[in-house]
Amino acid sequence: MWKRILVLLLALWIVVACSEAQETPEATAIVELADTAVPTATDLPTATVPPALTPTIVIPTVAPQPGEAATPLPPAPEAIFPEMPRFATFRETAVDLTPAIFHDPIAPDLSNVTVPFVLSPEQLDRLAADGFVVSPGVEKEFFTVYEQARYANVPTFITSDSLLHVYHLLFDKVLRTAERQAFIPLLRELNEAMLVQTDLQYQALQGAEWEDAALRTVAFIGVGSKLMDPSTDVPAYAQELVDAELANIEAASGIMPSPLFPGLENGEDYTQYIPRGHYTISEELTAYFKSMMWYGRMTFRLKTDNPDVGRAETRAALLLVHALRTAQVNGQPALQAWLDLYNPTVFFVGRSDDLTAFQYLEVIDTVYGTTPDLATIADESQLDTFIEAANELPPPQILGLVISVGDDVEETTKGFRFMGQRFVPDAYIFRELIYRNVGTAENPRMLPKGLDVMAAMGSERAYSILDELGETQYANYPEQMDKMQTWVDGLTTDEWTETLYTTWLYTFEPLLAEPGAGYPQFMQSEAWLDKQLNTSLGSWAELKHDTILYAKQVYAELGGGGGAPVPLPARGYVEPVPEFFARLEALTTMTVDGLQERQLLNEQDLNSLMRLQSLAAALQVMAEKELRGEPLTEQEHNLIRFYGGELEHLTMAAADREDEDPAAQPIMDEEPQAAVIADVATAPDPDGDGSPNPVVLEEAVGRINEIYAVVPLINEDGTIQLQVAKGGV
């Protein structure tokens, strides 16, 4: 199959450098910034209702069959998932000021601006017109841009891009460390206990009506166990099924029938098991990725077009949930081990929007009686009652299965996932802005754009670009975008800051807001709005890269360091976005508090995060001073001068070390580089001919671009000097 790469341009005024994107096997990769196709609008499809981030769950009374007396089920608690206390509180330092930095306009010939750089005529023209210019760069990391500026004795411009990048590095580091030191050992113990317990179930149910379901639960856990530890012994009776699934996973050849889930009419997308992100750096992390991806993707559905398939998958789900309740891990119920693995990943990324063991247990106890034994669970006469009751639980808000046009999305996707992938707001926004919610069968919108997320978060410029590209011409796009903007506007601060993932998104809001009066001239143009969009999209791509295992990907439908040198005299400038720095400081503090509470943070990572927290706090103070027209102190100017060294220290601190020894040198096969790529959405059949031919939307960042900005430096006497400063974006 031919590989196609559509390279789409985001910024209309700035020059963006792209990295090479690796394509997913058997899928076409689209590295997205914008589009040029102009779709047409026809009929409006039906839209779904936006969820709360933590939906309330109520179990209904099952309707009686004709001729039967109504027997209402006992009332169930309103919230059946055990309450997970917040790991940490988001505490943002308030920014209370009126920007008041008014300076003489930049002269068309730059005669009133100090330009300590050799720039091209085109760059100088952009400086005069917009107050800044972005040009392609060659550096692989931010710290080299700033260190080179310091050595050259030229003014530096500290950007929001550079600080967001450092948070990405540290977030990815602490997540890797938690996975290695806590999550992987816990998953191994859980696998071992569940394999023993499901085997006991099979022995008890051999020869009975539920024997096949018991076989499939053993095979399901067997696949997850073998992916994590290939040396795991699987019972001989399940070996054939396990080997067949493992062969598909290792081949990763696209969308294929699943041996263990034959009822999946459109098969499973086995390309999702290709390790990516930081899961490629060690065999252990690769194994963890595959095992958790298996547990996160495969769904035991309640209902399908073929009722027998829904019953078969639900039998297996009931046995799995019962095994979780009865198995023991270190003397405690396996459910506790499951929670110990699930809850920290909720703090990192978010809750699963698929049905969990606790939701099934609540319905089980309602239908079968409190804490039923295996024989009671395997009572076929109660199976349909359970299915009807469980079917009233909330459906997933993000489509994570391959389904066909015409399928009932809710009925086809609702079911139990052992460790379901997580609901994240951006994926939900994507789901609401593609077919069937946007577009028609004749002209479906099969893939979203990163700009959709920024527009939903309030960026008028993002929506304007989408309109210019023709995206808003898709049927129902404006209505769905309005619904998404209303939903985002309705999120409280507590909802925005429930997880590190959503709080990271929350830091983009101040960048997406249009600067008003009192900000420097370089922030007053449409080009600056494009720069901030690029900043947010770049950091969002890093977020998707870091959380690629846990965050659910949206699917469209088928058919559709060193000693400090002598300080240099050049003075620099901080991008004056104090609200952004305040939120990043609060996000970093929240990361520390939440992980320390669960003993998931080692001393080295703690020190690095605290260093970033202090840096963000200092930059907030400096940005506020700049907007008030106050001169910076010599100590603050020194922080700007040596900013590159601080970035270098934090970059190196985010690298892995041999045996996790803080004293060891960082493990680096090559020099550090900021470039990353992540797949964020899949269209299984973009041609609409019913044959799986996946196209994948990938988001990437590449080499560090150079930004030159005309900044207003405040002198000790209060006068303003216009000067060009250099930074990285």
For 99-132, what is each residue's pLDDT tens digit? 999 999 999 999 999 999 999 999 999 999 999 9
The pair of three-digit structure tokens given for residue 317, joined into one six-digit string: 């789900």
What pairing do the DSSP bridges indicate for beta strands 415-416 and 157-158?
Answer: unpaired
Residue 409 has pLDDT above 60, yes or no: no
Q: Is 329 helix (H, G, I), strand (E, B) or coil?
A: strand
Supply the Cα-derived Rg of the chain in whole angstroms. Answer: 27
For 361-395, what is each residue's pLDDT tens digit? 999 999 999 999 999 999 999 999 999 999 988 87
| Cα–Cα distances in angstroms (integers) from residue 707 to residues 15, 52, 533, in the given order | 10, 40, 15
Which pLDDT belongs to residue 17? 34
Nearest to 291 by CA among 217, 224, 193, 216: 224
What is the arithmetic mean of pLDDT over 648-656? 93
Which pLDDT belongs to residue 610? 98
Which pLDDT belongs to residue 681? 86
Percent of the chain that is helix, strand, coil (3-state, to 5): 45, 10, 45
Tell me 271's DSSP state.
G
Whether residue 221 contacts residue 243, with contact meaning beta carbons closer than 8 Å, is answered with no
Residue 660 has pLDDT above 60, yes or no: no
Q: How far is CA 416 from the centre of its chain?
A: 22
* Cα distance between residue 20 and residue 387, in whole Å: 48
Whether residue 56 contacts residue 501, with contact meaning beta carbons closer than 8 Å, is answered with no
CA dihedral 49, 53, 54, 57 (to 10 degrees): 10
Residue 35 has pLDDT above 50, yes or no: no
The pair of three-digit structure tokens given for residue 108, joined into one six-digit string: 């068309």
* Cα distance between residue 703 and residue 16, in whole Å: 9
Return the sign of the alpha-carbon dihedral for residues 197, 198, 199, 203.
positive
Which pLDDT belongs to residue 145? 96
| Cα–Cα distances in angstroms (integers) from residue 137 to residues 8, 34, 141, in the given order | 19, 21, 10
For 287-333, what is each residue's pLDDT tens digit? 999 999 999 999 999 988 788 999 999 999 999 999 999 999 999 99
Instruction: Kindly report the average pLDDT of the chain as a whole number.
Output: 84
On the CB side of 685, CA atoms within 13 Å amount to 17
Phi, psi torsion values for 384, nearest 5 degrees: -65, -35
Share of the chain above pLDDT 70, in %: 80
Which pLDDT belongs to residue 688? 65
Burial track 575-595 (b if 16+ CB lie within 10 A, e otherwise): bbbbbbbbbbbbbbbbbbbbb
The pair of three-digit structure tokens given for residue 32, joined into one six-digit string: 């997205």
Phi, psi torsion values for 435, nearest 5 degrees: -65, 135
Which pLDDT belongs to residue 27? 34
Poorest-confidence range of 24-28, 133-137, 492-496, 625-629? 24-28
Residue 503 has pLDDT above 60, yes or no: yes
